[in-house]
Amino acid sequence: MTHRFELDGIAIDAQADRAARCPEGILLHGTEAALDLPFPPVRFYRHGWQSWSLTTWQGSGDRIPRPKPALLLPMQTDPRHVRDDRPNGSWVGAAELPDGRILLLGALGLETHVALDGNRLRGSSEGGPVEWIATVGSETDAFGRYASALLPVLGRGRTDAPPRVWCSWYSLYTAIDERILRRVLDQVTGMPFEVFQVDDGWQAGIGDWEANRKFPAGVAALAAGIRAAGFVPGLWLAPLLAAPSSRLHREHPEWLLRDGKGRPVSAGFNWGEPLHALDCARPEVLAWLAGLMRKVRAWGFGYAKLDFLYAGALPGVHEAGMPREAAYRNALRVMREALGDAYLLACGAPVVPSLGLCDGLRGGPDVESEWDLPRDSLLLANYAAPGARNAVRTTVHRLWLDPLVHVDPDVAFFRSHRCSLDPYQKQMLRDLASVCGFKATSDIPEWLEPGERAELLQFLASRLRAARTGRYTFTVDGRRIDFSPAVPLRRPVPLVGGLVGWLAGRPVVLRCFDRMQRRALARMMIEDFAGI
């Protein structure tokens, strides 16, 4: 049914089962909703499905190539829409009109998608009818109204300010052990961090969340030492994954999410092996997740970084036919309740289904200590891969989420040791952290030169006031900053990229790459921590 409205002086035809005016603009209801654009759009706002998925403004006629390799697609984008080459995105889409105003169509329900189809914004729901918001205005106003409409539906995080975090990942990666972390803990004691977070590398396996042999005293003892040093202990987990090598996978194959043919659904490839997802709609899985989170709290951790959460919302046959994002959100709610008053950072997480249940949400891909890897941008067209530029690009386009959740831009770098970022690139990461108000680093104090250490301390201690002045420009305490250099997508090389993508998608190649990375980390640990 077609309904005609006028918004901000623009006549708009809307297609939906029902339509009515609301404070934000137009409230539509239906399994499908569409807005006919009064003018050819200049750009489309493409919102990625999960934390790492590309989010950007793209030209209305641009076609962004499908990222490679295919084996990693479940880790980087919504598999259900990966073959749609129209400008499209999850839950919300917006068209920039020639006069600079924005026409936005956003869902107030889950399992929804918006695409630009010629001169029409078209929203669709995988399940039944949902409500949609249509609004026109400046970019800030349009996205602000959408966030306001989501608030009573999903809620917001519980804490007023995000903590300042030291995280082990970007210095030590999986090569952490009890002695090294205690050495770093001694070095950061007295520095203005609130959280000392132990990242990947402590666990027995992906699915087996017990301390491995590198932590002979156990992680509860480590948490006690962190708390004695004056910090909130933080812990990384990927609770919705199960690797085939794990005991969980062997003992509970019935817990795995499966496709229509009964095969385990692929959740990507990492740690040298394929990944599978748990079916979050199964009561026994929910009970296991609740028990795991209670165990984390009993160990003494008050900050939980839950990663690779996209696994809970992958397409598959869920128990009792439960919709996939609803199943994920229910599992996140169960974990939230079991964690009690711990701070919950959701990472690799479906964005809108996570709102109201997490305190912080990773806004983009991992940063890494390199700006832009040609392998990913030029050969694989993979803008969800780790890299500082990819992280800045997507996070800046997600700042409209700020009223609903702490937007985590990932860590900032100060060190020159084992870091190829130049001063300008490092400053951009620091500026983004200041804009987000979420400050973290993985830099080990003994790796810092005196000037670098002073910069880190000043960064942590400062409470800067940021104001938005444009799509990519801000002022921070009166200093103008501009993130636009991080935004453009490099044009990939299709022929060479196709070959590299095919090779990169072979499990044997990925296993070899994983072994090479582990050996390089081992050599690094010998060089940097030989005296322990």
Q: Any idea what the Cα angle at residue 203 is, between residues 202 and 207, rounded to 5°?
A: 155
Handedness of CA 392, 397, 401, 402 (dihedral sign): positive
Distance CA 409, CA 388 (A): 10
DSSP string, 4-52: EEEETTEEEEEESSEEEEETTEEEEEESEEEEE-SS--SEEEE--SBTT
Question: Which pTM does this prediction carry?
Answer: 0.97
Of 49, 84, 90, 50, the residue nearest 64 (C-alpha): 84
pLDDT computed for residue 532 by the predictor: 52
Distance CA 254, CA 251 (A): 9
pLDDT computed for residue 88 by the predictor: 97
Of 405, 400, 401, 466, the residue nearest 433 (C-alpha): 466
End-to-end distance of the chain based on CA atoms, in angstroms? 72
Name the phi and psi angles at 58, rounded to 5.
-125, 150
Helix, strand, coil share of the chain (percent; to 5) = 35, 25, 40
Distance CA 16, CA 130 (A): 10
**Cα–Cα distances in angstroms (integers) from residue 32 to residues 28, 85, 105, 114, 463, in the given order:** 9, 19, 11, 10, 45
Distance CA 36, CA 105 (A): 11
Distance CA 397, CA 392 (A): 9
Handedness of CA 80, 82, 88, 90 (dihedral sign): positive
Contact between 343 and 360 under an 8 Å Cβ cutoff? The reply is: yes
List active site positions: 307, 366
- Report the chain (532 residues): mean pLDDT per 10 consecutive residues: 89 94 95 94 97 97 91 95 95 96 97 96 96 97 97 92 97 96 98 98 98 98 98 98 98 98 97 97 98 98 98 97 98 98 98 98 97 90 96 98 98 97 97 97 97 98 90 94 96 78 83 84 79 54
Tell me if residue 389 falls in helix, strand or coil: helix
Go through 422-431 and write b for each residue having 16 or more CB atoms within 10 A of its CB, e for each that does not.
eeebbebbbb
Q: Which CATH architecture has domain 172-358?
A: Alpha-Beta Barrel (3.20)
Residue 334 DSSP one-character state = H
Please report, for the chain, the start and end positions of each structural domain, with discontinuous segments joined by +. 2-154, 172-358
Distance CA 310, CA 190 (A): 36
pLDDT computed for residue 504 by the predictor: 81
pLDDT computed for residue 530 by the predictor: 65
User: Which amino acid makes up residue 63?
Assistant: R
Name the phi and psi angles at 530, rounded to 5.
-65, -25
Distance CA 515, CA 519 (A): 6
